Amino acid sequence: MKKKVDVEIFGEIYSLKTDEDSEYVRKVAAAVDSSMREIAQKTHSFSSARISVFAALDLADKYFQMKKDYEELLKLVDSKNRHK
């Protein structure tokens, strides 16, 4: 059953409906908020829309880097298991 979780991102309150654990949703929102605030601190003249896009790009980059690292780790483990 979906529940409502209120989160604050970059000074705005968002009411989200989710099946996920409330604490998990808050952690995700905090990561987005942190990324946006870090970008805003470095680039004072950007609009919140541009900051949102740069934060999305930053988080997507981190996701794909971690996915690549994970896939490489799986290959390494698989290779080691085959040579036993």
Compute the Cα dihedral for 66, 67, 72, 73 and give only its sign: positive
Q: Which tens digits make up the pLDDT trace of 14-58?
A: 999 999 999 999 999 999 999 999 999 998 878 999 999 999 999
Q: Confidence class of residue 71 from pLDDT cuts 50, 70 and 90?
A: very high
Q: Whole-angstrom Cα distance, residue 55 to residue 63?
A: 12
Please state the rounded mean pLDDT for residues 62-79: 97
pLDDT at residue 74 is higher than 90? yes
- Residue written as tokens 């970008």? 39
Task: List the chain domain ranges.
Answer: 3-82
Name the DSSP letter for residue 9.
Answer: E
Q: What's the whole-model pTM score?
A: 0.82
